[in-house]
Amino acid sequence: MDKVNQVLYEEDIFEGVTVSVSKLMTSKSKSITTRAAFDIYAVNHDLNSLDSIIKIDDYGYYMMNILDYLIGNTDRHWENWGILIDNETGKALRLHDLMDFNQSFKAYDTLEGGLCQTTLPRHISQKDAALEAVREIGLNQIKEVDKSLFEGRDNDYEMFERRLEVLQGV
């Protein structure tokens, strides 16, 4: 897939325990607001929250739905995604980098996946959200997925491949 803005995690040790670490996502010049906080803003300004988010960064929004479907991520609730804000101007720049993938491969028992939380209040499956996304921006796959990334998790790799085939058929 083409570029997806995401937090890059690395393995580290903290007090003898294996942990994941990442670079700081915010700075004095940029901050993040969650989807939940953006919804409050939207209500107070008579905006449709989801339409406004898509207007700010349609590519980022649709890529998030494609990625979450492919990896079966069930943790994209309203506190785990949102908007990157320019602190000087208050302007919404784009979706902030995707983070928190610790619930990946959880909705992997069917091709439908789980309920897509990013489309709420619309209730559609992750599959339907991903198909909608592919129709909007294309699949944008730039290379084949390396099977070794699944490190012996053959069932997960098989479901990933099946889901990718679904999206490639659009």
Confidence of residue 2 (pLDDT cuts 50, 70, 90): low
For residue 96, pLDDT beyond 50: yes
For residue 1, pLDDT beyond 60: no
Instruction: Return the amino acid letter for 137.
Output: I
Q: What is the pLDDT of residue 122?
A: 92
Q: pTM for this one?
A: 0.91
DSSP conformational letter for 10: E
Domain boundaries, the chain: 10-168
Ramachandran class of 139: left when φ > 0, alpha when ψ lies in -120 to 50, beta otherwise: alpha
Percent of the chain having pLDDT more than 90? Answer: 82
* CATH 1.10.1070.20 is held by the domain 10-168: yes
Q: Find the radius of gyration of the CA atoms of the chain.
A: 17
User: Is residue 59 within 8 Å of 1, Cβ to Cβ?
Assistant: no
How far is the CA of 167 from the CAs of 40, 63, 112, 140, in angstroms? 33, 12, 12, 11
Q: What is the pLDDT of residue 143?
A: 86
**Model confidence over 34-57: pLDDT tens digits?**
999 999 999 999 999 999 999 999
Q: What is the pLDDT of residue 26?
A: 87
For residue 167, pLDDT beyond 90: yes
The tokens for 10 are 């690395």
**Model confidence over 55-76: pLDDT tens digits?**
999 999 999 999 999 999 999 9
Q: What is the pLDDT of residue 8?
A: 85
Residue that has been written with the tokens 């619930």 in this structure: 103
Confidence of residue 16 (pLDDT cuts 50, 70, 90): very high
Q: Once rounded to an integer, what is the mean pLDDT over residues 123-143?
A: 95
Is 84 strand, coil or helix? strand
- DSSP per position, 31-60: EEEEHHHHHHHHHHTT--HHHHHHHHHHHH
Integer Cα distance of 167 and 170 in angstroms: 6
Paired with 43 in beta bridges are: none
- For the chain, what is the mean pLDDT? 93
